[in-house]
């Protein structure tokens, strides 16, 4: 990842008549977040792509989604190819997306996998196991990474709740937490930083969304969009285990029984990634002894 703009982190450059909003967000510690991810998000928000290209890309993306929607209505079985989609995604991430955006995207799969594993290992009596997805390079994207991310999450929730009902179990607060799966950092490749790697996170999502809609079945695309609202479900599971609802205030994707429009998927996807980073950092802070007094961590 290229060197961060010093104006974003150096408080001595603060101009009271023209304060940099990203300096404020970088210095603020009220919301728990991994430092590397926070730097990447600040840089991504301050990039030229985010400031100048993103508004135009967003408009064209919405238009493309509309026409793809019409096309898929009349030809629902045409161009359904997850393999083709993920080859496009792998190529696009490697060639066009910025290292900051790539870092945030790849981190999401790791943090999300560890959060779900945390839930599965801290429900007494439950044996349902998640399927972890931890990509380390762009080759891993080709193995239906994004599609499997959604499938695994829904399957975990379905299988877990079937087991809870069959065994008459409930998710309860645990005094002794198993946080052995929570990692301080993730071992990933050094993402390319060529002149072509300039597209910011939101723009990349806006560009990829019409391709996602075009090459996936209607069910797969709708499920992918609706899965973002499962942030609330995963947040409630973890709050019951932790015995505290404090982190639920950081959730913005809520009410999975009332699905949102797919046109807002890019913004909600960024919020989804942020919620995952927040919860993972909370669990890491507990593991390192920085929060939740009285909680005992088992190694």
Question: Has residue 22 got a pLDDT over 70?
Answer: yes
Question: Has residue 10 got a pLDDT over 80?
Answer: no
Provide DSSP, 164-222.
HHHTT------SEEE-TT--SS---------TT--B-HHHHHHHHHHHHHHHS-HHHHH
pLDDT category of residue 294 using cuts at 50, 70 and 90: very low
Average pLDDT over residues 226-246: 95
Q: Sort 209 into a burial class: Cβ within 10 Å, 0-12 / 13-18 / 19+.
A: buried
Domain edges within the chain: 6-298
Q: Which residues lie across from 50 on neighbouring strands?
A: none
Question: Has residue 1 got a pLDDT over 90?
Answer: no
Provide DSSP, 283-295.
HHHHHTTSSSTTP
| Each residue's pLDDT tens digit, 64-85 | 999 999 999 999 999 999 999 9
Q: Give the helix/strand (H/E) hosting 21.
A: helix 21-27
3-state secondary structure of 97: strand
Place of tokens 């404090």: 246
Confidence at residue 297, expressed as pLDDT on a 0 to 100 scale: 53
- Work out the percent of the chain whose per-residue pLDDT is above 70: 94
């Amino acid at each position: 990842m290229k060197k961060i703009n010093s104006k974003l982190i150096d408080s001595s450059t603060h101009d009271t008549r023209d304060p940099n909003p990203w300096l404020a967000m970088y210095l603020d510690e009220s919301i728990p977040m991994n430092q590397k991810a926070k730097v990447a998000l600040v840089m991504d928000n301050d990039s030229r792509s985010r400031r100048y290209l993103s508004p135009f890309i967003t408009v064209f993306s919405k238009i493309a989604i509309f026409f793809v929607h019409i096309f898929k209505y009349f030809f629902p079985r045409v161009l359904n190819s997850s393999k083709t989609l993920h080859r496009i995604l792998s190529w696009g991430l490697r060639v066009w997306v910025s290292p900051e955006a790539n870092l945030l995207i790849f981190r999401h799969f790791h943090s999300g996998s560890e959060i779900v594993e945390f839930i599965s290992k801290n429900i007494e009596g439950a044996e349902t196991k998640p399927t972890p997805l931890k990509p380390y390079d762009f080759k891993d994207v080709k193995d239906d990474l994004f599609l499997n991310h959604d499938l695994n999450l829904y399957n975990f929730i379905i299988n877990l709740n079937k087991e809870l009902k069959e065994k008459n179990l409930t998710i309860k607060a645990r005094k002794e937490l198993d946080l052995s799966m929570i990692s301080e950092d993730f071992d990933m490749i050094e993402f390319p930083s060529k002149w072509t790697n300039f597209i910011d996170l939101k723009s990349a999502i806006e560009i990829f969304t019409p391709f996602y809609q075009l090459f996936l079945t209607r069910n797969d695309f709708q499920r992918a969009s609706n899965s973002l609202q499962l942030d609330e479900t995963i947040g409630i599971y973890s709050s019951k285990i932790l015995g505290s609802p404090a982190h639920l205030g950081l959730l913005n994707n809520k009410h999975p029984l009332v699905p949102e429009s797919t046109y807002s998927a890019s913004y909600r996807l960024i919020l989804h990634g942020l919620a995952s980073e927040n919860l993972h950092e909370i669990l890491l802070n507990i593991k390192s002894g920085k929060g939740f007094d009285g909680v005992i961590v088992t190694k």
